[in-house]
Amino acid sequence: MIDKQDLINRFVSYITVDTESDPNSNTTPSSEKQWDLANALAKELEDIGMEDVSIDKNAYIMATLPSNIDKDVPVIGFISHFDTTPDFTGANVKPQIIENYDGSDIPLKGTDLKLSPSEFEDLLLYKGKTLITTDGTTLLGADDKAGIAEIVSAMEYLIKHPEIKHGKIRVGFTPDEEIGRGAHKFDVEKFGADWAYTMDGSQIGELEYENFNAAGAVVKIKGKIVHPGYAKGKMVNSMYIATEFINALPRTETPEQTEDREGFFHLYSVNGEVDGTELQYIIRDHDRGLFEERKEKMNQIAAILNEKYHDRVSVEIKDQYYNMREKVEPVMHIVDIAEEAMKQAGITPIIKPIRGGTDGSQLSFMGLPCPNIFAGGHNFHGRYEYVPVESMQKAIEVIVNIAQLVGSK
């Protein structure tokens, strides 16, 4: 359907632009460098023949592929994000292209490390395929520049093949998804779709319409610093109180010890001195009731410690997004269409909950139901990230199939 080398060239042109988002910034986009790719994408959409191309003051990009049929069908959308995570650097990406992968270890040539099927068994699914990996010094950026490459390539294919009948299609590219803000300033009314799909999943075949309920928590502990030689009965070491807080949460309910629909508390940052310590957590659970219980548990621990240590602990919890399932289930035909599109492409759908979130989870609660479809990459957010080119080609085929299915119903 899509020439492999053309797809590789397009994808590489995206990942070699640094678009790392910045959680400490209050601007949108959070990093100025995201504009570099955003502006290039807007121009590329015009160049391939998309209409109504716009890029707003916050770098949100939208464009239209007009309907080529003479009947009313729903307007659908496809959405991806162009930022990369601040978890690992995305500057100076030097991709490696492995043709006809043979199942052996892949040296990451910028380091002494290897991408090995002994650690990442999924690699063996792609023997004989073309893999794009990092050189070990950066992430790759397939999350979610693979999704962008797939959407742009699918739109270009439909433009070049007007014999394929479809309704109106809207595409949208967003900044700052990796720091939880990708949908915050997305204009759902302007987008004007009845529903959409984020192309932001991982392994080929993934189709997701459930995700975590999510919150962030900041725990602050006030201590009291005095000279250690005269500290008896006076010093209050905030780091010891912080340790009590950490140990009061169930140790088995952490990311590394949970799976499937099991929720967790994730302590991802500790910054402490005697006089003050700050803990940063994320809270996740697929079940809304259990999610609320997790937030309450953190408040209960703080209350116990405050009674013991005379009001030295504060907890601030902010909800981030909710499980899109409750918004998608009433319109399950949009999942059925994606499932049929995959089957038409010879793909066995893998329908499972996301142990994370996408722009689609927030957009679903903003009135745009938005299941998530695979983009093909693996091992996101780090140096071992890779994507099989053939998975990207199949994702393009799925987009085209969805367009045809909606146009024919």
Residues tagged active-site: 83, 177
Yes or no: say if 295 and 214 are a contact pair by the CB < 8 Å rule: no
Q: Which one, of 393, 386, 390, lies nearest residue 142 by Cα?
A: 386
Yes or no: say if 28 and 184 are a contact pair by the CB < 8 Å rule: yes
Tokens of 140: 């790759």
377-to-197, 204, 382 alpha-carbon distances in Å: 17, 8, 12
Helix (H) or strand (E) holding 201: strand 195-201
7-to-11, 95, 106, 386 alpha-carbon distances in Å: 6, 14, 22, 15
Alpha-carbon dihedral sign for residues 304, 307, 313, 315: positive
387-to-192, 196, 274 alpha-carbon distances in Å: 32, 23, 46
Q: Which one, of 171, 142, 147, lies nearest residue 49 by Cα?
A: 171
Tokens of 203: 């392994």
Residues 181 and 320: their CA atoms lie apart, in Å, by 9
Q: Which one, of 361, 212, 215, 381, lies nearest residue 282 by Cα?
A: 215
Owner of token pair 């998975």: 391
> What's CA 96's distance to the chain center, in Å?
23
Tokens of 363: 């957009």
Residues 370 and 56: their CA atoms lie apart, in Å, by 22
Tokens of 250: 């169930």
Pairing relation of β-strands 206-208 and 350-351?
parallel
Yes or no: say if 199 and 79 are a contact pair by the CB < 8 Å rule: yes
